[in-house]
A and B are shown apart, each in its own frame.
Chain A
Amino acid sequence: MRSIISKKLIWVIFILIGSVLIFTFSSGRKAVDFNTEVKPILNSKCITCHGGVKRESGFSVLFRTEAVGKTESGKPAIIPGDPDNSEMIRRITHDDPEERMPYKHDALTKDQINTLRRWIKEGAVWGNHWAYVSVQPVELPDISDKWVRNDIDRFILQKLDENDLKPAAAADPSTLLRRLSLDLTGMPVNPKISQQFLSAPTDQNYELLVDSLLASPAYGEKWTSMWLDLARYADTKGYERDNKRVIWRYRDWLIKAFNEDKPYDKFLIDQLAGDMLPDATDEEFIATAFHRNTMTNDEGGTDNAEFRTAAVLDRVNTTWETLMGTTFACVQCHSHPYDPFTHEEYYKFMAFFDNSRDEDTYEDYPQLRYFKDSLKEELNIFTNWLQKQTTENEVKTVKKFLKTWEPSIHSLTADQLINSELNDTKWLLFRDKGTARFSKVNLQDKDQLIFRYNAGVKNGVIQIRLDSPDGPLLKSIPIHQTKSWEIRAVELPVTVGAHDLYLSYLNPDIAGTEKGGIQFDWFHFDKSLPGRQSPEFAAQEKRFWSLLTANTPATPVMMENPSDMQRASYVFERGNWLVKGKQVTPGVPNSLNAMPPNAPSNRLGMALWLTDKKNPLTARTMVNRVWEQLFGAGLVETLEDLGTQGAQPANQELFDWLAGRFMNEHKWSVKKLLKDIVMSATYRQDSRVSKELLEKDPYNKLLTRGPRVRLSAEQIRDQSLVFSGLIDGTMYGPSVMPYQPDGIWLSPYAGNEKWQTSYGSAKYRRAVYTYWKRTAPYPAMITFDGAAREICTSRRIRTNTPLQALVTLNDESFLEMSRNFAFRMQDEGGASPDKQIARGYQIALNKTITPAALTVMANLYNKSLTNFRKDADRTCEMVGMMDRHNNPETAALVVVANTILNLDELITKN
């Protein structure tokens, strides 16, 4: 039976091969493939003038409908099936240089012309770029080999076979241990685990090691470090003043989310639209700070609407670039030059983001106010009571207001200012007889106004009139002097519908002067607190006010405008926000998956669309990013651009297989995806390379060896902290300030914000907790290609410069680490300097120093020792003026420790 099948199979194969041969020889070739053969020619030769930006003579090759459609001449330039009558072919083959295309550029080669001719002959079939087509199931290559450890290896080995190459042997256990621990946790593994593994580096123990590293809290810190670049996270607001922003709870949310392996789709939904989830938790609100990391401009005289718009556009661009590997920013000004996205589609997508409550306010509203301990308890008591008084919806509204002071009218949206101004363009300020307008305020069913204000002078009255400066008086509010900002409520007569509100301020005390009488922060129109009939009302109302006015920490979050505060969105002509074109409603680009059924047409719906398994970009982008973190280069090298201008995938089948597996089998578990990769034989390969292999696979595209990449700025700091024993492993909390030289922060208007080295061991926290000021980032990290985080950074470009050497050689932080590393070498290494040096090397690399390297280090030690013996002052300085260590031997060992921290082997992951 078996043999019959085999024979049958052989026949089938024969027939197949035969028909391919016949096809190949009879028709000359197989059909032209649009994506791999035609599109590259169009992109490099035609599309600059005939594409999304310019459509010379009405001809564009961006979409098929355009390419075969009528041009300005009235005729199509491409007639499918008929190359000889196609104007395109006539023009690319013309003799007259004035006629011949590409105009004033080199002609197409014969091969290129033939390809286009055949393509038209075959019907000018269009193809979608692979990255815009949903991930399809991929069959595993039918390969078996003892090298193969899991399915990833089959794909890799298939490519190697095709290229007549062999994989490298597995790296030695100590190298693997270091690689694995840097990759998964961003720092060296603790000695206990390393000893355990190195004493019995079996396959089983390798897997245990992987599991324990994935379970380590340090795992979340490492992957958060990566995510912070995408989120353009910083502890300041950016632009001129670049003042402090308290948003570290978002960083902590990330660490927890990674550590608990929150499924990646949920991870993204929370960050994009957690605020819109039913009964959103505080944590889900905090997640949305992802898009509150946009910059806020506090410079006096700036147009808040302009910078709100800039933030919204940044959210669009960041969403596409970091989550969907697409450079959407091009489409801001015109249709995409190469990829199938139109100008209008950009603004339809922007409309998803255009209705968030934030408006470039100084306070970064909306903020989630954080009630802890007794306040949290108070809130519970109040909510429990409230639930008995009214509807669930009203409870939610009141609770939301307590937690966010929203929805409120921010005073900077006032207009028609007379004898009033936006003080420092931030708060509405009135002088005597000043007036200002708020347009279209919904007063339906609202009988209370709560406002936040600051009145610097005695007396004065605020009048609110409807619809015109001398319209009907809605309310007159006597104002008393306040010490600083206060929140106050007044009752309002019930009014129907929306009205323009005219506020005026009268204060004879300051009549005729230039003095400001009162300034406002926000106005909240609402129904007054229910439950008046309850015997507890007075006590609960007091509780409400103590919660509302409590001085709480707060984090900027996303929040959607209520239905009566919606903004209309428009196309910006040529990207200019002041030139508004057609009005648009939220929508996703046509060339990608449609919105999932039942997804609402808002930011939450967009998040569901983005994380739909049909979305072709989301899973691929994350798989690519994870791969890049481990191997130094993505499966598609351009993490930020999977489009037609991006690089070609090194292994398309593997890429799609991993993306499919990530979504389906792994249910978006990043830890499982990582485990797949690190368990593969591919990952475990040695990174040594022979001269021959360097010639055959110079960029390691085929994965003929293990990764060898310089560590990130964060890893370099963290590992040195670990070796020195200084590291403070405390997790979470406000960002810390490790040592940096004086004079890095010299921002104008910084006020009292200063770099103040953190107290005690807090200055030795992991790099991910370092306070990040956008206009003056931590210098040692920026030198090692850290990102300034003004905008998102999809991929750090690694450089190799002398300034980096200067950091690890001379930065006082590194010196301090070197000293403590040396002390540890002495403590753990024994009496002889050789043993101490060897111990240092063992601590750093989990392996025994080679005799050659030991000789070099010992010579350095001896030379240093001779020098220090002659110079007591330098000795004392070298050991950091510590009496206990003040001897030439220790000083010499500090020099050696500093040298070890600078070795290529340490700066690099092998």
Chain B
Amino acid sequence: MTQKELYNQRLLNEANERALGFWTRRHFLRESAMGLGALALGSMVGSCGSGAADKQAALQFDAANPLAPKTPPLPGKAKSVIYLHMAGAPSQLELFDYKPELNKLDGLDCPPSLLEGKRFAFIRGVPKMLGPQAAFKQRGESGAWVSDNLPHFSTVADEVSFIKAMTTDQFNHAPAQLLMHSGTPRLGRPSMGSWISYGLGTENQNLPGFVVLTSGGSLPDAGKSIWGSGFLPSVYQGVQCRSEGDPVLFIKDPKGMDRDIRKASIDAINEVNRQQFEEFKDPEILSRISQYEMAYKMQMSVPEVMDIKDEPQHIHDMYGTQPGKACFANNVLLARKLVEKGVRFIQLFDWGWDSHGTDNSTALDEGFINKCRQTDKSMTALLLDLKQRGLLDETLVVWGGEFGRTPMMENRGGKTNPFKGRDHHVEAFTMWMAGGGIKRGGSHGETDEIGYAAVSGKTTAFDIQATILNQLGFDHETFTYHFQGRPFRLTDVAGNVINEIVA
């Protein structure tokens, strides 16, 4: 039996049951929309052979109800993920990776050993070293170093685990972002959120399972592909929720159409479709009827959820929201609301972290500090707010960029940049995770004394992906989808769970 036949078999069985219900009771609407039996997923831990992979895929994709909630194969600690991606790649050397030795080298020529055989995006010739452009202190009981750029976050440093020896092999934004989110620097593979949406479905059938929010005025470099579904069915792609216009595309009734009429028209569509089903007996028609029901319900629930106005003032103050604007703080608060409503994966992209020092907006002592101010309060509030609601334990929060920044000052094209900035750097950067079964006050990995390269506990995007999947209850090695003649996985052929930060 092929994969498709297996899907169809399920579709058919389900349709038959439902058809029976329809023929006997004729009370179709009452039970159609939500009653699509969510078949619990069998164990996905199996052999590594392709046959097993086929079976998994077959169990996973149900064309009749592709977003039915599913149980992960392993007991996961996290139910949902909020991924805060600082697009452009923030400097670890001004935030978390404290390097007093680098200060001593400030202004000196970069030693050839750090340049030979290396490639940088913009550094040419011999750049100068650049000391940390921020003051650091140890914070909380864990004694984690956090710079003064993050006064709010400093107070919650004990909640998180730092991953300080992150590395990548992509020094351009778009490929590095794709690698981080889809496991390959090229376009065409499913994003992490799509994998998760495919593996877990969505708990709240009135909302998408995978939501994307952007701030900073621009999409991330890799565009919408970064939340694309690649070779997975398109239903698993991220749904971008927008702060202007419709929160979800086409969610609002057209002008002139009131809710009563919309309801009546959907009822009419479904009534005629039911007549159609009686004639053709095609199970797809039943599925279409329930999708229209669901669309109607989404129209009710989405705008309500997406509206943060109903939050109390003290919560707005806590996050530092700016009502009506497309800002990071609003998105973070929205992310918390979405987690409460059962959305599985919320991806936030904040644009503007590419601190090259080519102008004041990308200067480490100006634009970068502004970016810190725009995000510090709200990301701190997120951790505190989730905690006070008892949601932090089951919500994994991830923070990071797509690569790090050089300990050298950028000299674009061999010239001195007008402002203090750092080039893209693949050999060291910091990320952090919190909640969702991650150790409090942990830290893993170290870089050398100037923060140039990882020296211990080196990790990659694949390890981050493996860890996120692990926290959700998936073994990244057996969570596969059959495509182009072989099983594919998010982590390709690499990745290890970073057990050192798992509680």
Contact = CB atoms under 8 A, between A and B. Distances in A.
B234 A782 contact: yes
A242 B255 CA distance: 34
B485 A338 contact: yes
Interface string B250-292: 1111111110111011111101110110011110110111011
A302 B172 contact: yes
A797 B48 CA distance: 25
Contacts of B262: 809
A310 interface: yes
A848 B249 CA distance: 35
Interface in A414-429: 417, 419, 421, 423, 429
B249 A806 contact: yes
Interface stretch (A222-230, A271-279, A771-779): A771-779
Interface in A642-685: 643, 645-648
A774 B226 CA distance: 12
B105 interface: no
Contacts of A67: none
A708 interface: yes
B100 interface: no
Interface in B1-58: 2, 4-5, 8-9, 12, 16, 19, 47-51
Interface string A72-108: 0000000000000000000000000000001011100
Interface stretch (B213-221, B314-322, B383-391): B213-221
A25 B143 CA distance: 83
A860 B174 contact: no
Interface string B429-454: 00000000000000000000000000
Given A799-B63, A895-B261, A903 B249 contact: no
Given A643-B485, A799-B63, A810-B250, A748 B219 contact: yes
Nearest to B232: A797
Contact of A645 (B172, B253, B485): B485
A105 B261 contact: no
B187 A238 contact: yes
B261 A863 contact: yes
Contact of B254 (A238, A645, A791, A815): A815
Residue from A45, A640, A800, A811 whose CB has the most chain B CB atoms within 10 Å: A800
A747 B218 contact: yes
Nearest to B292: A805
Contacts of B223: 240, 242, 747, 774-776
B264 A903 contact: no
B255 A877 contact: yes
Contacts of A514: 413-416
B222 A775 contact: yes
B474 to A, nearest CB: 21
Contact of B287 (A327, A783, A785, A800): A800
B303 interface: no
B47 A106 contact: yes
A218 to B, nearest CB: 26
Central interface residue in A802, A805, A860, A891, by most chain B CB within 10 Å:
A802
A304 to B, nearest CB: 12
B49 A637 contact: no
A239 B224 CA distance: 11
A689 interface: yes
A782 B236 CA distance: 12
A878 interface: yes
Contacts of A48: 48-50
Interface in A704-748: 708, 710, 741-743, 746-748
Contacts of A879: 256
B225 A774 contact: yes
Indicate the member of B120, B280, B289 with the most A CB atoms within 10 Å. B280
Contact of B122 (A301, A783, A809, A812): A301
A690 B252 CA distance: 39
B60 to A, nearest CB: 13
Interface of A is mostly: loop
Contacts of B8: 698-699
B245 interface: yes
Interface in A430-448: none
B291 A800 contact: yes
Contacts of A774: 187, 223, 225
B194 to A, nearest CB: 12
B171 interface: yes
A506 B220 CA distance: 41
Contacts of A812: 254
A898 interface: yes
Contacts of B120: 301
A806 B298 contact: yes
A336 B253 CA distance: 51
A240 B251 contact: no
B482 to A, nearest CB: 8
Contact of B187 (A339, A643, A790): A790
Contacts of A742: 244-245
B299 interface: yes
B281 A688 contact: yes
A299 interface: yes
Contacts of B172: 240, 297, 299-302
A775 B282 CA distance: 35
Contact of A790 (B12, B225, B282): B225
Nearest to A514: B415
A801 B288 CA distance: 8
A321 B51 CA distance: 22
A815 B262 CA distance: 13
B256 A891 contact: yes
Contact of A810 (B208, B251, B258, B264): B251
Interface in A139-192: none
A637 B280 contact: no
A633 B265 CA distance: 32
Contact of B256 (A106, A297, A776, A875): A875
Given A240-B172, A788-B228, A809-B295, A775 B284 contact: no
B235 interface: yes
A903 B50 contact: no
Interface stretch (A116-124, A546-554, A610-618, A849-857): A849-857
A689 B280 contact: yes
A284 interface: no
Nearest to B279: A688
B224 A797 contact: no
Most buried by B among A105, A339, A879: A105
A691 B484 contact: no
23 contacts: A43-B50, A240-B222, A299-B172, A301-B120, A302-B172, A337-B50, A338-B485, A429-B413, A638-B2, A645-B486, A748-B221, A788-B228, A790-B188, A791-B187, A807-B250, A809-B265, A810-B253, A853-B272, A853-B275, A863-B260, A867-B258, A903-B272, A907-B288
Given A301-B122, A310-B186, A856-B272, 20 more contacts: A102-B49, A239-B222, A301-B120, A330-B486, A645-B485, A647-B4, A689-B280, A708-B280, A779-B250, A785-B234, A788-B228, A799-B66, A801-B67, A801-B235, A803-B250, A810-B253, A853-B275, A864-B264, A877-B256, A891-B256
In order of increasing CB-CB distance, the 4 nearest A-B pairs are: A775-B223, A301-B121, A878-B256, A877-B256
Interface of B: 2, 4-5, 8-9, 12, 16, 19, 47-51, 63-64, 66-67, 119-122, 124, 171-175, 186-188, 208, 214, 217-225, 228, 233-235, 239, 242, 244-246, 248-258, 260-262, 264-269, 271-273, 275-276, 279-282, 284-285, 287-289, 291-292, 294-295, 298-299, 351, 413-416, 424, 484-486
Interface of A: 43-45, 48, 102, 104-106, 238-240, 242, 295, 297, 299-303, 310, 321, 327, 329-330, 336-339, 417, 419, 421, 423, 429, 514, 633, 637-638, 640-641, 643, 645-648, 687-691, 694, 698-699, 708, 710, 741-743, 746-748, 774-777, 779-780, 782-783, 785, 788, 790-791, 797-807, 809-812, 815, 850, 852-853, 856-857, 859-860, 863-864, 867, 871, 873-879, 891, 895, 898-899, 902-905, 907-908, 910
